[in-house]
Amino acid sequence: MNAQYIVDTRNGPVRGAPSPRSEDGRITAHLGIPYAAAPFGERRFAAPAPPPAWNGVRDCVEAGPPAPQSARFIGTEPWDSETSLDCLVLNVWSPGPATGGDGAGSPVMVWIHGGAYIVGSGAEATYDGTRLAEAGTVVVTVNYRLGFEGFGHVPGRPDNRGLLDQIAALRWVRDNIAAFGGDPGNVTVAGESAGAGSVVCLMASPAARGLFRRAVAHSVPGDMLTVGTARLLAEGIAGVIGVPLEADALAGVPPERLLAATDTVLAGTGRTSKGVRTRAFTCYGPVVGGPELPEPPLEAIARGAAADVDLLVGHNTDEFTLFTGLGQRVEIDGEAALAVAASRLGLGEDAVEVYRAAHPGASLTRLYDEIRGDAMFCEYSTRVAEAHAAAGASAHFFRFAARSRVLGGALGACHAFELPFAFGNTDCDLARFLCEGDPGPEYLALSERMRAAWTGFAAVGDPGWEPVRPGATTARVWDLEDSLVTDGRSPLRDLWAGVAFAPK
């Protein structure tokens, strides 16, 4: 392999290869680069440690192992119990053979994958960085510890190990990305769903201060845990396994047993409240109250903790249909039961009536989708944008409204549908599934517009429309024909005014 694809990092040289998706071969991919030591043995459940140096050139032409994750979820990355904890790796796509750090360097985008903090990998085909790199951006995708390995409470160990992994990856980028042609002073951290939740936590974390200049957050979940709740969940996991909640005892438990115990706990934590029955799909998330995340991100952002960070944030218009349409069983025994479910989310007695007026003729399941989508992603994403702008910082807001063709269009602009278009990977399995085959020219044109917005934002902080101002939430609406809405606030926002997104 040509020596021009060898890059010197602080831990040793790595050899990459032309990206297979690069039509002219000018995009270089370096895959599976360690950014932290594998958390085996005494490093299990510990904060990430620097990776050991290596002698000679390390081949980095294949993605590294994904983090351990339950196979009961669609799209779960296959992993091997013998090697899976060696998962703290990242992937780099750069515009042409590495420059060795000469010149000003290209903007850098560091992607944190979603997956409810329990599944996913930075090596998923949806996140291939070739198309963005062709536009002049160095793209980095990151693996981090998931589930109990990354967010389970272990006495004497940090709770947010997954976030600390992400911070370690950002430090690696700061120290090494110039050798790949990137500008370490112009880094954008980006993510979707749990990745977006991670992004806003990084904005609020003192440990991540100064490691990135901009942030992109798609579909930000407001779910976070208190230390007390995290401890109760961990006690339940340890009880299922039959070991004490102690670091030494848990370190001897194979990852697959922790995953099985998590599945057992999840099976008993679905929502059953006077006629509405669902099954929970995660019990993990960032834990608020420790040194890496001392306060809720929304509060930190509102007081200006990340005022020096430019933000691009938004959500899809039909977030929750992905879950009810493709697997999460929901049973609703009448409108009164739906009203009770809405009240448990903090909404008033008239919530169902107001949602029905906004969606005439909708089924109870569809109304449930709308309420849960707003509760999980839409309202919190909007509050993050407005809080950041109110603190005097730069915030741009969007909504993704292009509809999936699945189930006759019933999924609408569902959760995660925007990702193949933002990355330009409209031929990946996710895009082909949600578009029922070839997306077609209108969707390809949408992808070009979204990529232009992403790369423009990563370069100079401007995606191409007006930022949010206090009292004026301008929104770009991404669709087959885009629009700009000068008041992007949902007409149902008043319903949510009294709902607090506090850690549970």
Q: Which residues are catalytic?
A: 193, 319, 415
List phi, psi (to 5°) of 472.
-145, 95
Pair of tokens at residue 483: 């629009």
Which one, of 98, 92, 106, lies nearest residue 183 by Cα? 106
Which one, of 32, 35, 33, lies nearest residue 165 by Cα? 35
Q: Which H or E element spans position 154?
A: none
Longest dimension (CA), the chain: 68
What is the rounded CA–CA span in Å between residue 198 and residue 114? Answer: 9
What is the rounded CA–CA span in Å between residue 197 and residue 144? Answer: 14
Pair of tokens at residue 375: 């509760």
CA 417 centroid distance within chain: 13
The answer to whether the CB of 145 falls within 8 A of the CB of 161 is yes
Q: Which H or E element spans position 381?
A: helix 379-390
The answer to whether the CB of 112 falls within 8 A of the CB of 144 is yes
List phi, psi (to 5°) of 163.
-65, -40
Cα angle for residues 275, 226, 323 (degrees, 5° grid) = 40
- How would you classify residue 490: left for phi > 0, otherwise alpha for psi between -120 and 50, otherwise beta? beta
